């Protein structure tokens, strides 16, 4: 493992077994992804054994089985503040009664995936790329999940996992060159089952680009084994991880991400803008800078989708633009993600940026920089006219 000598170790917290409140956990158990999955916190009793819950949380947990199951890996559970209901980690994974609020703007399928699904499990919205939903299970469940209608086994729909129909569709549609594996979380599969999917995709000549979308490196870094990385390396793929708060980037997470990077897997991060979690310029700056230290390029910052029961986690679009403006010019460009809204109803990703163009006409563009200073850039037609006038003189 290569760690730059200038890397500030104090920026990363370790969550080894000693931090787990059950002192009887051995290091070998703690470092086992199987043990982590078997010992997830999935009940009110499990939460109250370790945390002081707010009334809103207790009521939310009792109702969670009707919308989206609760499951929290011990690794991720260790990041939760024991007494603070506003802890940014708690807000992401512990249900709250606000999930039952009825907001008429919210939808079961806010990204319109079902309407762009030619065969079960395959979303074909963009011309040359598809989203392949290969599983409906995750290591832990985010309370703002865009697919809460189908994941975890308690949503209002059942995800149809017809892999063979998806493969046949891809073989027939030669315009598809890019496949994103998601779900659920594909890295929950065994190495063998995941390799079977990757091998089948690589057998299709026109598929050039394979990606995996996963929160496993954050929820369950123990899954990122050398064997997994060696298998993934054979298929020349990319990976998008999902982390929202700098506290999530522990030493174990960093080691897993570096292991992936050292095996030639380019890494990008997708964050969701969440109220009380990362809707703060300083928090976001810390997150993106720590991601770069983990060799992960911040890719997208999503405005929270209009998923049912998420109103308490959504913040304004203007807050997202403010955050991007606070990053641009104040940290390296590699650390600045693209802020997007996944247009409600299936319109796809729409990029949003601060207004850097102050004025524009046929002759010039008046722009401002990150410090607010104005600069003029001449349009090519204006330059050509000036050159011609000089020749005529």
Catalytic residue list contains 102? no
| C-alpha distance from residue 267 to each of 36, 92, 213, 296, 314 (Å) | 24, 22, 10, 5, 26
Catalytic hit among 58, 129, 200, 364: 129
Catalytic residue among 125, 137, 295, 368: 125
Active-site pick, 40, 87, 141, 145: 145
Asked about 138 being catalytic, the answer comes back as: yes
Active-site hit among 82, 126, 360, 377 = 126
* Beta carbons of 246 and 287 less than 8 angstroms apart: yes
Residue 356 among the catalytic residues: no
- Selected catalytic residue, list 67, 90, 143, 147: 147
CA distances 242 to 17, 173, 217, 321, 349, Å, are 24, 29, 8, 20, 17
Report residue 232: phi and psi, to 5°.
-60, -35
CA dihedral 36, 38, 41, 46 (to 10 degrees): -120
Q: Has 178 been annotated as catalytic?
A: no
Of 90, 111, 136, 138, the active-site residue reads 138
Is residue 368 among the annotated active site residues?
A: no
Angle in degrees, CA 353, 180, 304, rounded to 5: 40
Reply yes or no on whether 145 is catalytic. Answer: yes
Catalytic choice (109, 136, 185, 342): 342
- Check 87, 305, 308, 314 and give the catalytic one: 305
Helix (H, G, I), strand (E, B) or coil at 359: strand
Active site residue 129: yes
Catalytic residue among 177, 200, 328, 349: 349
**Residue keyed to tokens 């969670």:** 64
Cα–Cα distance measured from residue 275 to residue 301, given in angstroms and rounded to the nearest whole number: 13
Annotated catalytic, 229? no
- The DSSP symbol for 72 reads B
- Which entry of 142, 247, 279, 302 is annotated as an active-site residue? 142
Catalytic residue set: 125-126, 129, 138, 142, 145, 147, 305, 342, 349
């Amino acid at each position: 493992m290569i760690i730059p000598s200038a890397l500030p170790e104090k920026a990363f917290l370790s969550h080894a077994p000693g931090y787990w409140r059950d002192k009887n956990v051995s290091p070998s158990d703690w470092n086992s992804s199987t043990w982590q999955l078997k010992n997830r916190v999935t009940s009110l009793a499990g939460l109250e054994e370790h945390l002081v819950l707010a009334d809103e949380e207790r009521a939310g947990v009792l109702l969670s089985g009707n919308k989206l199951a609760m499951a929290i890996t011990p690794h991720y559970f260790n990041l939760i503040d024991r007494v603070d209901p506003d802890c940014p980690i708690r807000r992401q994974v512990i249900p709250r009664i606000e999930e039952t609020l009825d907001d008429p703007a919210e939808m079961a399928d806010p990204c319109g995936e079902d309407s762009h699904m030619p065969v079960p499990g395959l979303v074909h919205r963009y011309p040359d790329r598809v989203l392949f939903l290969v599983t409906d299970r995750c290591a832990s469940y985010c309370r703002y999940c865009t697919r809460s209608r189908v994941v975890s086994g308690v949503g209002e729909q059942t995800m149809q996992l017809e892999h063979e129909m998806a493969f046949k569709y891809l073989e027939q549609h030669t315009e598809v060159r890019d496949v994103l594996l998601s779900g659920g979380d594909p890295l929950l599969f065994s190495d063998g089952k995941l390799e079977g999917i990757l091998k089948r995709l690589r057998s299709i000549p026109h598929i050039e680009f394979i990606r995996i979308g996963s929160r496993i490196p954050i929820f369950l870094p123990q899954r990122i084994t050398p064997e997994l990385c060696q298998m993934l390396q054979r298929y020349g793929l990319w990976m998008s991880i999902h982390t929202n708060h700098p506290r999530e980037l522990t030493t174990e997470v960093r080691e897993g991400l570096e292991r992936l990077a050292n095996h030639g897997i380019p890494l990008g991060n997708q964050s969701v803008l969440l109220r009380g979690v990362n809707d703060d310029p300083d928090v976001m700056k810390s997150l993106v800078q720590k991601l770069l230290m983990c060799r992960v390029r911040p890719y997208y910052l999503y405005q929270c989708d209009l998923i049912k029961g998420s109103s308490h986690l959504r913040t304004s679009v203007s807050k997202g633009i403010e955050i991007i403006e606070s990053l641009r010019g104040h940290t390296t460009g590699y650390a600045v993600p693209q802020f997007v809204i996944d247009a409600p109803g299936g319109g796809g990703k729409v990029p949003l940026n601060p207004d850097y163009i102050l004025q524009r006409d046929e002759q010039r563009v008046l722009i401002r920089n990150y410090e607010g200073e104005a600069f003029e850039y001449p349009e090519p037609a204006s330059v050509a006219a000036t050159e011609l006038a000089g020749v005529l003189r």
